[in-house]
Amino acid sequence: MQTVKKLENFRGAGISDPIGDNHVATSLNTPLKDNAFDLSDEQKIEIISDHFEQIMETLGLDLTDDSLQGTPKRVAKMFTQEIFKGLNPANRPSISLFENKYQYNKMLVEKNITVKSTCEHHFLPVIGKAHVGYISSGKVIGLSKINRFVDYYARRPQVQERLTRQILEGLKEVLDTNDVIVVVDAKHFCVACRGIQDDASSTITVEYDGAFINQQRRNEFMDFIRHQ
């Protein structure tokens, strides 16, 4: 709420882009219009292709060149069906819960999950790893489903803090437990390729609930993800 109020103050002062290089999220939910899914993927591809063609022409590129003439359509398909496919709830992975027949009631950790996302402020890549831990409430999910869940929330314009929180809240819901922890360690190409142009730094975000509010539990999880 404080972030939103600050943004409102900036706008009231006539500042058109209060976010700038601050890279802050304004909400837990990805900002979407009410009619975000009125158009089909095919319709979106056609519209985006037309607009991207205009961008390329404005930059002075010759779209009659064999190498460039198909680029607007390729970019439109990539945006709609690949790197931003996580915007559409229809692409949310189907999750099946299974009885914890092994009676395994300790921590389960899935680490080094590939994160490929996009900074919503500059539309440049965010690449890194996610580490997830949870304690079963009596149900478990297949390990690959955790990876798919992370990928679903990553495949949209994102802010890393929001991405980490969305993964946490989504897994709490499907696992029916609050005992979840998520760490994301990622490199932001908007930092590496523009502005400060620092290609050595990475950003780490952590979200947790339930049993992981306990410092000892968190330390145990951190020890697991550090172990090679």
Q: Catalogue the active-site residues.
A: 119-122, 160, 188, 190
Torsion sign over Cα 193, 49, 84, 162:
positive
DSSP H stretches of helix in the chain: 2-12, 41-58, 71-78, 143-154, 160-175, 189-192, 215-226
Q: How far apart are CA 78 and CA 75, in angstroms?
A: 5
The partner residues of 118 in beta bridges, in order of sequence, read: 125, 157
Rounded CA separation 173/162 (Å): 16
Could you say which DSSP state residue 30 is in? P
Q: Torsions phi, psi of 43, nearest 5?
A: -65, -40
Residue 163 CA to residue 158 CA, distance in Å, equals 6
Strand duo 203-208 + 180-188: pairing: antiparallel
Q: If DSSP codes are grouped into helix, strand and coil, which group holds residue 211?
A: helix
